[in-house]
Amino acid sequence: MVANQKISNCEQVWREISNYVDGDVDAALRSTMEAHFRTCQRCASVLAGTRNVMQLYGDERMLEVPAGFSQRLEKRLENRLMPGASGGASRWSSWAAWLVPVAALALIAGGLKLANTLTFKHPAKSILAAPGHDIPPDLVVVVSTGSKLFHVPGCAFIHDKATERTLTAKEAIQDGYVPCSRCLRQYLKTGLTGHSGAEIAGEEAEEQQELLSAAGVK
């Protein structure tokens, strides 16, 4: 520390700048540095930049975890608590142990195939889950907090309009949003096989009625 010493040049300021922002310099050095920042533009910019770095990286939003991280951690802890579940090898013979995931995969694959070829009574979920087809990547769309859908600006089905945020369709899809089945229906329809427009329209009307009655509107 350069206590009680006149700061004569920028190098000395740079050396102490990190301690300065941490409040880890004595009063004399602090006031000398403050005086320097008032007159030296370069050091003032280094100080502002350092604070900017700390503010940005210190933000909660910088702490991202991979998709499914929390569930996997929770599962791992649960398995430890129930030895029967994690100690699979002792209860299952090895062929049965690998058969389970294989069977699960087969079921999932089969289920997807079916979903694509059959008409279900309520296909709405799979429509929502579809990433959408031929949506112009540069289309301006809006998203809002608390919903994983993206919409054409002005769509009546945007939740919590106060938190609206504008971005392009491409970014929205990259960020994991899926298209709204109302305002972006034209794009979803092209991606569907085995569903006629009329069916969808009928379901939409039904759904809309449900939404309205849930909201207490007759």
Partner 1 sequence: MALKNPEQTGARERDLISDVQRGQHELFYELVRPYERRVFAAALAILRNEQDAEDAVQEAMLKALANIKQFRAEARFSTWLIQITVNEALMRRRRERTVAMEGLDGHRSGRGDEEREYAPRDFADWREIPSEALERKEVRLKLAEALGTLDRKYREVFVLRDMEHLNIQETAEALGITVASVKTRLLRARLMLRDLLAAGWEQGWFSRLPFEKGNKPW
Site for partner 1 (CB under 8 A): which residue of 6, 38, 76, 125?
76
Residue 63 binds partner 1, judged by CB under 8 A: yes
Q: Which is nearer to partner 1, 54 or 108 (CB)?
A: 54
Contact segment (CB under 8 A) with partner 1 among 71-79, 117-125, 182-190, 206-214 equals 71-79
Residue 18 binds partner 1, judged by CB under 8 A: yes
Q: Which is nearer to partner 1, 83 or 197 (CB)?
A: 83
Q: Given CA atoms 155, 156, 157, 163 in this order, what sign does their dihedral have?
A: positive
Residue 106 binds partner 1, judged by CB under 8 A: no
Contacts of 42 by beta carbon, 8 Å cutoff, 6+ apart: 10
Beta bridge partners of 167: 141
Residue 95 binds partner 1, judged by CB under 8 A: no
Site for partner 1 (CB under 8 A): which residue of 26, 74, 134, 160?
74
Would you give the binding string for partner 1 spanning residues 21-50, x where CB under 8 A is met?
xx-x-----------------x--xx-xxx
Q: Which is nearer to partner 1, 21 or 124 (CB)?
A: 21
Residue 126 binds partner 1, judged by CB under 8 A: no
C-alpha to C-alpha distance for 53 and 46, rounded to whole angstroms = 10
CB 204, CB 181: distance < 8 Å: yes
Q: Which is nearer to partner 1, 60 or 156 (CB)?
A: 60
Q: How many CB atoms lie within 10 A of CB 150?
A: 28
CA 12 to each of CA 31, 51, 177: distance values in angstroms, whole numbers, following the listed order? 14, 18, 49
CB of 175 to partner 1, least distance (A): 6
Site for partner 1 (CB under 8 A): which residue of 126, 155, 170, 171?
171
C-alpha to C-alpha distance for 204 and 201, rounded to whole angstroms = 5
DSSP state of 146: T
CA 110 to each of CA 78, 88, 113, 116, 138: distance values in angstroms, whole numbers, following the listed order? 29, 26, 5, 10, 35
CB 217, CB 208: distance < 8 Å: no
The footprint of partner 1 (CB under 8 A) covers 11, 14-15, 17-19, 21-22, 24, 42, 45-46, 48-50, 52-66, 69-70, 72-74, 76-78, 80-81, 165-167, 171, 174-175
